[in-house]
């Protein structure tokens, strides 16, 4: 796991300034450079993901050459994106994408504690990791916006779809085995008593801070945020980097002041301003996460059992979904979720569906989203793509193929006007 973690860090993080003087430059694109260490880390990542053997030097060199070409193309797009004044990336967009990236890395570890322990072993704090990723994520968002702008009008005709199918029918992937599902979702939100209890708890901690107890020690003792190890310190941030409720409270504070208890999607916060300069604030916080209590879970499980009982006694699934389901996207459609690939299902869903036949409903299934009653509408085995039945899928494949060709043509045109020096 440490090896995986190290590769992820190197592959995603910006190269520190001191490394540039010690590293060999393998390509220059306008004012952007690609370092040998970047190429090597990307090569190792590719080999790990595809289980490639890099022990043969000729194969490794050939693969590195192809990979460097792809990295050069990536830099070409970045240069063009930075020149295009009609596109921009906000701090809020960067922070949202950054949070998602950190969450994806965390998901590779058994728990958040294991993740933080490994992070410490790598000589990094969570704040340092976020700082390393921030520029890379901004660049990625810029490139995505530029490509979207260039290609949002790409369309394919029925003739182009037919031509694509005829040219590729022998190599098209099969439709995977799948299931068509409907569900009733019961959110497991904390009840009013739980909310009030946690609010009172956060208020008690705030009172301790207001009475002069050391805020950093309080954060280390009570906060349920990873920043607790640093005394709750969030560092400097600008407007747009935090969720609205937190930001509104933080930016009205003066250094040394402590906020009221603030509710956000993450829970209850107590915020202390530790510095201000121009349009930035430095703050520390204590977070009390809001999660359902066991009593809340028991109440929702009892409701799920009652609904399951009604279904077993002949009540209509669709009507119950409309009445009880908290999934706003499906409850008005009798709980319909559509088709899912068998391999894409959550383990808990796969286990539940293995025990029922078509038309039947599972017993309550618990996931991170809540408690589900899942109805199995249809099953299908893997099969070849049918040009009539799967026209929408083929159309999307043809559009992607056309898009890729246009991207390559576009990159070639941009490259002609740039200084590109490949040194591998």
Backbone phi, psi, residue 245, to 5°: -65, -40
Residues 123 and 9 in one domain: yes
| Confidence at residue 318, expressed as pLDDT on a 0 to 100 scale | 93
DSSP string, 211-248: TT--HHHHHHHH--SGGGGGTTEEEEEETTSS-HHHHH
pLDDT by residue for the chain (424 residues), tens only, comes to 334 344 344 444 444 443 444 579 999 999 889 999 889 888 887 887 778 888 899 999 999 999 999 999 999 999 999 888 898 888 888 888 888 888 777 777 777 778 888 888 777 788 888 887 888 899 999 998 988 888 788 899 999 999 999 999 999 988 888 999 999 999 888 888 889 999 999 999 999 999 999 999 999 999 998 889 889 999 898 888 888 899 999 999 999 999 999 999 889 999 999 999 988 999 999 999 988 888 888 999 999 999 999 999 999 999 999 999 999 888 889 999 998 888 888 888 889 999 999 999 999 999 878 899 999 999 989 889 999 988 998 999 999 899 889 888 989 999 998 999 999 8
Residue 64 CA to chain centroid, in angstroms?
Answer: 28
Return d(Cα 335, Cα 186) in angstroms, integer: 12
Residues 326 and 369 in one domain: yes
Element (H, E) at 64: helix 57-83
Q: Is residue 420 part of a domain?
A: no
DSSP-assigned letter for residue 361? B
Residues 311 and 282 in one domain: no
Structurally, the chain folds into a number of domains equal to: 4
178: helix, strand or coil: strand
412: helix, strand or coil: helix
Kindly report the CA angle at 354 between 346 and 348, in degrees rounded to 5?
Answer: 25
Residues 183 and 326 in one domain: yes
Closest CA to 371 of 298, 322, 317: 298
Residues 388 and 374 in one domain: no
Residues 356 and 405 in one domain: no
Return d(Cα 284, Cα 249) in angstroms, integer: 12
Residues 200 and 274 in one domain: yes
Q: 284 with 249: CB under 8 angstroms?
A: no
Check which CATH number belongs to the domain holding 62 and give it: 1.10.4030.10
Return d(Cα 71, Cα 25) in angstroms, integer: 13
| Confidence at residue 261, expressed as pLDDT on a 0 to 100 scale | 97
Return the structure tokens found at 210. Answer: 């207001």
| Confidence at residue 220, expressed as pLDDT on a 0 to 100 scale | 95
Please report, for residues 189, 208, 292, 366, 371, the alpha-carbon distance to residue 194 in angstroms, rounded to integers and kept in the order given: 10, 22, 7, 20, 19
| Confidence at residue 342, expressed as pLDDT on a 0 to 100 scale | 83
Residues 401 and 305 in one domain: no
Return d(Cα 97, Cα 281) in angstroms, integer: 21
Q: Is residue 421 part of a domain?
A: no
Backbone phi, psi, residue 40, to 5°: -65, -40
Residue with tokens 């930075």: 82
The pTM for the full model equals 0.51
Q: 320 with 311: CB under 8 angstroms?
A: yes
Q: 137 with 97: CB under 8 angstroms?
A: yes
Tens of pLDDT, residues 275-311:
999 889 999 999 999 888 888 889 999 999 999 999 9
The angle that helices 36-50 and 2-12 make with each other, rounded to 10 degrees, is 130
Residues 263 and 398 in one domain: no
- Partnered with residue 238 across adjacent β-strands are 280
Residues 18 and 124 in one domain: yes
Return d(Cα 181, Cα 352) in angstroms, integer: 12
């Amino acid at each position: 796991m440490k090896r995986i973690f190290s590769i992820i860090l190197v592959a995603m993080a910006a190269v520190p300034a001191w490394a540039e003087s010690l590293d060999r430059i393998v390509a220059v694109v306008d004012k952007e450079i690609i370092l040998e260490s970047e190429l090597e880390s990307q090569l190792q990542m590719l080999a790990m993901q595809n289980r490639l053997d890099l022990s043969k030097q000729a194969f490794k060199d050939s693969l590195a050459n192809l990979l460097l070409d792809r990295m050069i193309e990536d830099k070409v797009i970045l240069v063009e994106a930075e020149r295009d004044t009609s596109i921009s990336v906000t701090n809020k967009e960067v922070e949202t994408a950054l949070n998602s990236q950190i969450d994806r890395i965390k998901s590779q570890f058994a728990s958040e504690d294991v993740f933080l322990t490994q992070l410490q072993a790598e000589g990094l704090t969570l704040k340092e990791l976020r700082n390393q990723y921030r520029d890379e994520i901004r660049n990625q968002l810029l490139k995505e916006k530029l490509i979207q702008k260039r290609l949002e009008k790409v369309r394919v005709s029925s003739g182009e779809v037919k031509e694509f199918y005829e040219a590729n029918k022998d190599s098209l992937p099969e439709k995977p085995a799948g299931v068509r599902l409907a569900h009733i979702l019961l959110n497991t939100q904390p009840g009013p008593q739980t909310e009030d209890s946690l609010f009172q708890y956060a208020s008690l901690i705030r009172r301790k801070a207001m009475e002069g107890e050391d805020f950093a020690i309080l954060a280390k003792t009570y906060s349920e945020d990873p920043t607790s190890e640093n005394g709750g310190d969030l560092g400097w941030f600008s407007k747009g980097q935090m969720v609205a409720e937190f930001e509104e409270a933080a930016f009205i504070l003066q250094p040394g002041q402590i906020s009221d208890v603030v509710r956000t999607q993450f829970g209850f916060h107590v915020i202390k301003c530790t510095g201000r300069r121009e349009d930035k604030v430095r703050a520390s916080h204590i977070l009390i996460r809001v999660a359902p209590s066991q009593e809340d879970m028991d109440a929702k499980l009892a409701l799920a059992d009652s609904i399951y009982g009604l279904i077993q006694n002949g009540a209509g699934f669709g009507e119950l979904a409309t009445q009880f389901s908290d999934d706003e996207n499906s409850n008005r459609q009798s709980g319909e979720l559509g088709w899912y690939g068998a391999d894409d299902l959550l383990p808990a869903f796969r286990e539940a569906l293995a025990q029922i036949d078509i038309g039947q409903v599972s017993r309550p299934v618990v996931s991170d989203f809540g408690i589900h009653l899942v109805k199995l509408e249809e099953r299908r085995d893997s099969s070849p793509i049918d040009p009539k039945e799967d026209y929408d899928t083929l159309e999307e494949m043809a559009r992607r193929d056309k898009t890729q060709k246009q991207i390559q043509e576009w990159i070639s045109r941009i490259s002609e006007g740039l200084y590109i020096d490949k040194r591998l």
